[in-house]
Amino acid sequence: MEFRILVLPGDGIGPEVVQQGVRVLEKVGSRFGHSFQLSYDDVGGAAIDKYGVALRESTMEAAGGFDAVLFGAVGGPKWDDPQAKVRPEEGILGIRKGLSVFANLRPVKVLPDMVDASVVKPSVLKDVDMLVVRELTGGLYYAKPKGRRQTRRGWTSVDTMRYSQVEIERVLRVGFELARRRRGKLTSVDKANVLETSRLWRQTATDLASQYADVELEHMLVDTCAMQLVQRPSRFDVVVTENTFGDILTDEAGILAASMGLLPSASLASVPTEGGRAIGLYEPIHGSAPDIAGQGIANPIATIFSTALLMRYSLGLVEEAAVVERAVEEVLGEGYRTADIAEASAGRVIKRVSTEEMGDQVLSAL
Ligand code: IPM
Ligand code: MN
């Protein structure tokens, strides 16, 4: 089969980790007889430097014609001036909105070989296997009014949290559908004791639950959820929440898995189907990590796992996706570690590797 993929490496460690993801795609192509046509474009700070905008209209116009988009990361100190007219982050926010990928799937599993590398106690990490569904195209990130202005009493700034019932229901539906295919438990996370958007969210979840008798729905306040994530994370199956809460909670969840450098994500505009062919956006959940960019030490696994999700949800390549995931697990089992996951129990032999060497190992396991 022939597939067309748009590759947007972005800034910082983005290009380094994406390069390894691309090598994995190409290896899968040669092993299984697929051809991947890759088109590259600039996004984020890289696009600001070249074109003055974080995302060109032409990029967005072309994007819809691809089978999937593989994205690295954007941002960095160079573009961080709070007074700046354009920001790298507008690049990724524009792509998410432009593709209408409202459902961001962030699976959080603790791989057996990573238990020692996590700062959390092994007993707490036992049986952790959850899927966070983060709403991705609404809420504080996008709603207007948004901005800053000078008043007689000094500067005033505003961000708006807005959600329509339609936006809430469609992402909750993704949560219910995925819970149904997993362990049948859905935790809807909100701040309904304070926020009006959360009260609509909670009511919508309760109403929708009547269509999913086989799924057990629970509501949880976001502060409680933050606590439960480190106290008893194995209690969660599918978690569904709004954009900002999901952003914060998944960084926290990354610590369970040992490193954010291991966690992939898939963003889709409909209920995801394994073996489906809907366009999706695939990105590691970590950022551009400017502090380690250019050193060749970033962990490429989050991006490699993202390519597996890309194959599974956008290319219909279910078997190939599983093969990639198994290859990564095998490499970790053999003791290969980038710096972020190098901590191991006494007596265990660890082989420290660079970004590229980790890619080499995954390729040879393939
Ligand atoms: C993420 C990132 C982005 C977000 C930033 C880079 C805009 O933190 O994907 O989690 O907040 O969504
Ligand atoms: Mn984030």
Give 138 Cα–ligand 1 centroid separation in angstroms: 13
Provide CATH 3.40.718.10 ranges for the chain: 1-109+259-366, 119-256
What percent of the chain has a predicted confidence (pLDDT) above 70? Answer: 99
Q: Residues 236-290: pLDDT tens digits? A: 999 999 999 999 999 999 999 999 999 999 999 999 999 999 999 999 999 999 9
Select 1-109+259-366's CATH number: 3.30.300.20, 3.40.718.10, 3.90.320.10, 3.30.565.10.
3.40.718.10
Ligand 1 contact, 101 CB (< 6 A):
no
Strand partners, 70: 7, 282
Res 128: pLDDT: 97
Work out the pLDDT band at 346, boundaries 50, 70, 90.
low
Ligand 1 contact, 279 CB (< 6 A):
no
Q: What is the best residue among 92, 96, 242 to mutate for testing ligand 1's pocket, by most ligand atoms within 8 Å of CB?
A: 92
Q: Residues 124-167: pLDDT tens digits? A: 999 999 999 999 999 999 999 999 999 999 999 999 999 999 99
Ligand 1 contact, 10 CB (< 6 A):
no
Res 290: pLDDT: 97
- Evaluate if residue 345 carries a pLDDT over 90: no
Query: Which residue is closest in CA terms to ligand 1's atom 1?
Result: 285
Ligand 1 contact, 95 CB (< 6 A):
no
Q: Active-site residue numbers?
A: 141, 191, 223, 247, 251
54, 285, 352 from 288: Cα distances, Å: 15, 10, 22
Query: Which residue is closest in CA terms to ligand 1's atom 7?
Result: 89
For the chain, the residue count is 366
- Residue 162, judged by CB atoms within 10 A of its CB (0-12, 13-18, 19+), counts as middle
Tokens of 236: 């969660």
Ligand 1 contact, 75 CB (< 6 A):
yes
Neighbours of 310 (CB within 10 A): 27
Ligand 1 contact, 11 CB (< 6 A):
no
Atom of ligand 1 nearest to the CA of 250: 10
Atom of ligand 1 nearest to the CA of 243: 12
Q: Residues 282-313: pLDDT tens digits? A: 999 999 999 999 999 999 999 999 999 999 99
Q: What are phi and psi of 70, to 5 degrees?
A: -105, 125
Res 286: pLDDT: 95
Tell me the average pLDDT across 18-46.
98
* Helix (H) / strand (E) containing 68: strand 68-73
- Evaluate if residue 80 carries a pLDDT over 90: yes
Q: Is the peptide bond prior to 145 cis by the omega test (within 30 degrees of 0)?
A: yes
Atom of ligand 1 nearest to the CA of 92: 7
Tell me the average pLDDT across 313-327.
98
User: What is the DSSP track for 277-306?
Assistant: ---EEEEESS---TTTTTTT-S--HHHHHH
Res 142: pLDDT: 98
Query: Which residue is closest in CA terms to ligand 1's atom 9?
Result: 285
Res 348: pLDDT: 80
- Evaluate if residue 97 carries a pLDDT over 80: yes
Res 347: pLDDT: 73
Tell me the average pLDDT across 192-208.
98
* CA atoms 87, 91, 93, 94: torsion sign: positive
Res 78: pLDDT: 96
Res 349: pLDDT: 84
Q: Please state, rounded to an integer, the average pLDDT across all residues of the chain.
A: 96
How far apart are alpha carbons 356 and 366 in whole angstroms? 15
Which pTM does this prediction carry? 0.97
Give 260 Cα–ligand 2 centroid separation in angstroms: 10
Neighbours of 266 (CB within 10 A): 24
The CATH-assigned architecture of domain 119-256 is 3-Layer(aba) Sandwich (3.40)
* Helix (H) / strand (E) containing 35: strand 35-40
Ligand 1 contact, 240 CB (< 6 A):
no
